[in-house]
Amino acid sequence: MGDFAFDADTRVMASSVRDEFAAELTGRWNGTNGAVNGGYMLAICLRALGLRMQFPDPIVVSGFFLRPGTAGPAVIGTTLTRSGRTTAFGEAVLWQGGKDVARAAAAFAALGGGAAGPAFMAGAPPDLPAPEECVGVPVGSFGLATIAERVEFRSASLPGWFRGEPTGRPASEFWMRFADGREADLYALPLLVDSTAPSVLELGMTSTTVQLTVHLRAHPAPGWLACRAGARFVSGGYHEEDFEIWDSAGRLVAQSRQLAMILGLCVAAYASRLRNRTAPTTSRTAV
Amino acid sequence: MGDFAFDADTRVMASSVRDEFAAELTGRWNGTNGAVNGGYMLAICLRALGLRMQFPDPIVVSGFFLRPGTAGPAVIGTTLTRSGRTTAFGEAVLWQGGKDVARAAAAFAALGGGAAGPAFMAGAPPDLPAPEECVGVPVGSFGLATIAERVEFRSASLPGWFRGEPTGRPASEFWMRFADGREADLYALPLLVDSTAPSVLELGMTSTTVQLTVHLRAHPAPGWLACRAGARFVSGGYHEEDFEIWDSAGRLVAQSRQLAMILGLCVAAYASRLRNRTAPTTSRTAV
């Protein structure tokens, strides 16, 4: 596992203080603002909690983002709050320089096998062309967003914000996978739901995540993940962003929602700057 | 304020221990299983946090439900985790008998006035007949659910589960308000999004909430609240439930999602038991 970036970069080590773990936030999962991605910090918190839980599977995690995370050492403090018959609960704090950067709470359980199969589905995976027929925004186009080098995206057409023509429609469907071939698992999904360009870029807006809740609904099958992201309500200086991840077997594996605060209206200049830097890629790797 | 049930029953009092508050969970907000409603406990946690925050408005709260709450005394422990320029963060634990019952985390801010008006809305309030043309499930029909005496619901037609004929469609739209005339505010919304019969009753299922996240998007205007509830994905022993509340001015004021664990398949007997007990009400009160 250690050969993959996600595993190397979310490793936590027991410390001399009981219930605390040491981690190293690498600079390899930064967003466009140069800060460490929130979903990446949630994944690290889950790693630490997972070492202490009596159940194997995170089923829901809620994270609040108090300060921007920066590349460098971090300490993860963990608390087990309840261990029940079917569900265990815990909380984690990610500190840097003695200050709270992110705070997470999670529930763990044992996700069922085939026995507890689908009972009702009012949604379906996005209907996308095959990944090899899709296009991706060039990795080098995301400015400070090193996370774009770690996670690969493909969509039927290039996003409006990239073309310098925001569509006014903050919703999208696309394929996603780790660029280095690591398959997604439950621990990776909270990072993946937070790894894309925010939907409100299509409204010419940028925003920052206040809180993110991720439901982990099933162990993902190997292969490309089909995703649907969108913001439906942008008002009063905030917006929600919903995200679904469907695996290659057509199962919903993660569903998330975040509350984000709008920072400004700036995408036109941003997009045209990006556009002039590099040409779009076509498919570069085998599926 | 104290004349209204919600205010009386969510009151918190400073205790002799710093950062702790005393509360009394009344038996007036119980769900159908006889346990104290989760949203009610979240409202109490928010009350305690609100006394310590430098910003007036809760904007997001996440709650995990570790044990059933019961009528009787509770202690709320609070922690302020960050007070920033635009946003403050805190956490609360609701203890009964020395045990964690619910754990909440929240962010507070100052919700904008008219200046930061709607920027993008991909949804609209439910299209319902006027409340006086709607019907409600009789208050006495909810078994142990005393919360039904405190919150009034009206929909265009009676729910399938009440008629003993679950529709197979776990989604609904309805009006809601406090029965005693109290107007909703930001502190009441986390209770209200959790106060209705779960959508999966229409699939013949019962469930229990593991985690609930509520976004509070605007101060509600006085009057009836138009609501939309639904579960889209029921699989692997869990389901999500989404909830929107729109105020009388047509604004989205709350948006919530919970993860719930399915407890069993039992509604047929339950519904027919309810059906035989009382006849449906028509509108009883002026709008």
ipTM of the complex: 0.92
Q: Which of B144, B202, B203, B146 is nearest to B174 (CA)?
A: B202
Chain B residues 77-106 with a CB less than 8 Å from chain A: 81-82, 84, 86-87, 89, 91, 100, 103, 105
Q: Is B54 exposed, middle or buried (0-12, 13-18, 19+ CB in 10 A)?
A: exposed
3 state DSSP class of B220: coil
Q: Which of B82, B85, B80 is nearest to B110 (CA)?
A: B85
Give B70 to chain A, closest Cα distance, Å: 17
Between chains, do A122 and B235 touch, taking CB under 8 Å as contact? no
In eight-state DSSP terms, residue B279 is: P
Q: How confident is the model at residue B284 (pLDDT cuts 50, 70, 90)?
A: very low
3 state DSSP class of B271: helix
Chain B residues 29-58 with a CB less than 8 Å from chain A: none
Phi and psi angles of residue A266, each rounded to the nearest 5 degrees, phi first: -150, 10
Q: Which of B146, B184, B112, B124 is nearest to B33 (CA)?
A: B146
Asked if residues B237 and A116 have their Cβ atoms less than 8 Å apart, the reply is yes
Flag whether residue B250 sits within 8 Å of chain A, measured between CB atoms.
no
Rounded Cα distance between A43 and A41, Å, is 5
Looking at the DSSP bridge assignments, the partners of residue A177 are: A152
Rounded Cα distance between A274 and A278, Å, is 7
Q: Is the pLDDT of residue B49 over 90?
A: yes
Between chains, do B120 and A211 touch, taking CB under 8 Å as contact? no
Rounded Cα distance between B257 and B6, Å, is 22
Q: Is B7 exposed, middle or buried (0-12, 13-18, 19+ CB in 10 A)?
A: middle
| Confidence (pTM) | 0.93
Structure tokens at B237: 């022993």
| pLDDT tens-place string over residues B151-177 | 999 999 999 988 889 999 999 999 999
Q: How confident is the model at residue B244 (pLDDT cuts 50, 70, 90)?
A: very high
Give A234 to chain B, closest Cα distance, Å: 5
Chain B residues 174-193 with a CB less than 8 Å from chain A: none
DSSP code per residue over A228-261: EEE--EEETTEEEEEEEEE-TTS-EEEEEEEEEE
Flag whether residue B165 sits within 8 Å of chain A, measured between CB atoms.
no
Give the model's pLDDT for residue B243. 98
Alpha-carbon distances, residue A107 vs B212, B229, B277 (angstroms):
12, 24, 38
Mean pLDDT of B17-27: 96
Q: State the average pLDDT for chain B.
A: 90
Rounded Cα distance between B22 and B77, Å, is 9
Counting as low any pLDDT under 70, the low residues of chain A are 1-2, 113-118, 266-287
Q: Which of A111, A79, A143 is nearest to A252 (CA)?
A: A111
Structure tokens at B157: 């037609």
Give the model's pLDDT for residue B113. 57
Phi and psi angles of residue A19, each rounded to the nearest 5 degrees, phi first: 70, 5
Alpha-carbon distances, residue B63 vs A247, A261, A272 (angstroms):
28, 21, 42
Q: Which of B59, B171, B237 sits opposite A238 (nearest CB)?
A: B59
Residues in chain B: 287
DSSP code per residue over A189-216: HHHHTT-SPPGGGGGTEEEEEEEEEEEE
Give the model's pLDDT for residue A215. 98
Give the model's pLDDT for residue A116. 56
Q: Is the pLDDT of residue B117 over 70?
A: no
Residues in chain A: 287
Rounded Cα distance between B212 and B231, Å, is 13
Contacts of A240 in chain B (CB under 8 A): 215, 255
Rounded Cα distance between A203 and A208, Å, is 15
| pLDDT tens-place string over residues A163-181 | 889 999 999 999 999 999 9
Asked if residues B90 and B53 have their Cβ atoms less than 8 Å apart, the reply is yes
Alpha-carbon distances, residue A9 vs A4, A27, B168, B233 (angstroms):
9, 9, 45, 32
Give the CA-trace dihedral at A107, A110, A114, A116, to 10 degrees: -60
3 state DSSP class of B213: strand
Between chains, do B237 and A203 touch, taking CB under 8 Å as contact? no
Q: Which of A284, A213, A79, A151 is nearest to B107 (CA)?
A: A213
Q: Is the pLDDT of residue B273 over 70?
A: no
Chain B residues 117-146 with a CB less than 8 Å from chain A: 117-123
Contacts of B206 in chain A (CB under 8 A): none
**Measured CA angle at B247 (ends A215, B94), to 5 deg:** 50
Q: Is the pLDDT of residue B130 over 50?
A: yes
Give the model's pLDDT for residue B144. 81
Q: Which of A33, A65, A37 is nearest to A190 (CA)?
A: A37
